[in-house]
Amino acid sequence: MQIDQVIIDANIATMVASENDDYGIIENGAVLLSGDKIAWLGPMAEMPQVDLLSLPVYSAGGAWLTPGLVDCHTHIIFGGNRSQEFERRLQGESYESIAQQGGGIATTVRATRAAEPEELFIKAKQRLDALMREGVTTVETKSGYGLDLATEIKLLEVAALLQEHHPVHIESTFLGAHALPPEYKGDADGYIDLVCEQMLPAVAQQKLATAVDVFCENVGFNQAQTERVFKRAKELGFNVKLHAEQLSNMHGTALAARYQALSADHLEHLDEAGVKAMKDADMVAVLLPGAFYYLRETKYPPIELLQRYEVPIAIATDFNPGTSPLCSLQLMMNMACTLFRLTPGQSLLGVTRYAAKALGLNDRGQLAANMRADIALWDIEHPSQLSYEFGTAPLKKLWIQGELRNTNSLK
């Protein structure tokens, strides 16, 4: 066994959960790294014999190791911001009124279409840096603020540049069916024609995304339109996922289950039939407490039903300019506990093991032999502290694919 690095004197939350332990705790443990993989981990007393004098050895000093965190639902690439609309809403204007005056998502679409790729890259990198400082090692990002072929491609090309020039792993999702662009007002079917006949083939040909998402909602696209996108996406070899049941019960989750979607996300209005469909299709429920908080929602996702049916629950930031401009996965962990009443262990599972599953990634999200060496070292007394407090910057070290990264340089 070729060993390149050793971490000793660590408490380890493997996130290989058992019936009585969400964290999969190993106390006084060690981890051996080989290249970009974990070669071995376990109690220090059982560590294989290696020549510690010839290797980089990091003593955790009793601090805690977890898998690198995974933010499985974001929209980090876009132009402009909507802070003035936020202020108007606080003064009593409704979202609908602002949208009717050309605001809302149309504001972001205009700014994104006008933005140069370099500008989009710089802003997105700043957001990615902020997530990395919190121990995030994998991020999904969606297109969806272009709503025309050229800009959707531009957004996905910026995501590819981020992947090339940033250590955090990027999973790109095509969300052309995010909203109806102004030039297709009153012609949603015509816009779906464009998505299916031009956008999806171009994205597939250039290999710019691994998954396709749709906003299935009464202010988005209906079931029939969503299914047309899913059919075409599957024909072209994409995974699919869905923004579903956020504002109403459109039964999009059950549709997504029929297409073996990776996840359905938001889910405030999900019913028991939809939960059962998720279980049968082995889907992940991605909860987005930031959007719930920011929109001051009162309808909670069906947490008890999801848990009763043993549907894995992931947590993500949903970072976006309109409904969740909150670029902190640790804040989402706290919100998942305080708003949705998850336990800290369930919250940490939601940003590690289950978040990776929501992206179809089975090589990360837990610490075990042969897993990708994405590892965070935290100055905490117990993993529950990651959900308990926010803003204290407890990250000490971060390995991404076995390489120790200097997160201090990002501050």
**Residues annotated within a binding site for Fe(3+):** 73, 75, 243, 318
- What are the residues whose beta carbons fall under 8 Å from the beta carbon of 227, sequence distance 6 or more? 255, 259
Largest CA distance in the chain: 70
CA 366 to chain centre: 16
242 contacts 271 by C-beta, under 8 angstroms: no
| Residues annotated in a binding site | 73, 75, 82, 145, 178, 243, 246, 318, 320, 322-323
- Residues annotated in the binding site for 4-imidazolone-5-propanoate, as ranges? 82, 145, 178, 246, 323
Pairing of strands 263-266, 403-405: unpaired
- Residue list, annotated binding site for N-formimidoyl-L-glutamate: 145, 320, 322
